[in-house]
Amino acid sequence: MIHSRPYAELLTLLDRTDPQLAPTPPGMYAVSLRARKPPKGRRFLDAWFSPMAVGQPLPTLPVWLTPESHVLLPLDVSYAETCRVLGIA
């Protein structure tokens, strides 16, 4: 099965919500997630959510390498370079 909105489906499975998806989720979006658990207490799921639109630049999102460190992934630059390398730009 292909999931068109895996983030929304994940939240449903976890019995969580994200106000950025209500009342109607955007048609396209990018999201980066980080799971973390403080020394005491329940687990958290941090989300960096960015709606997207055709013809608009793609967002830059963090990619978590460890619970404390990340790199920023500029999706627009990455997409343009991928198209160039594949010869579809």
pLDDT of residue 76: 95
pLDDT of residue 6: 86
Full residue range of the structural domain in which residue 54 is found: 6-86
pLDDT of residue 31: 94
Q: Is residue 72 part of a domain?
A: yes
pLDDT of residue 38: 81
Residue 37 and residue 13 in contact, taking contact as beta carbons nearer than 8 Å: no
pLDDT of residue 2: 52
Quick: pLDDT tens for 13-66: 988 888 988 888 888 899 999 988 888 888 888 999 999 999 999 999 999 998
Instruction: Please count the structural domains in the chain.
Output: 1
Phi, psi (deg, nearest 5) at residue 8: -60, -40
Q: Measured between alpha carbons, how far is 36 from 16 in angstroms, rounded to an integer?
A: 15
Tokens of 13: 């499975």
pLDDT of residue 3: 54
Give strand ranges (E) for 1-89.
28-36, 44-52, 60-64, 70-74
Q: Is residue 58 part of a domain?
A: yes
Q: Which residue has the tokens 């958290």?
A: 44
Q: Is residue 1 part of a domain?
A: no
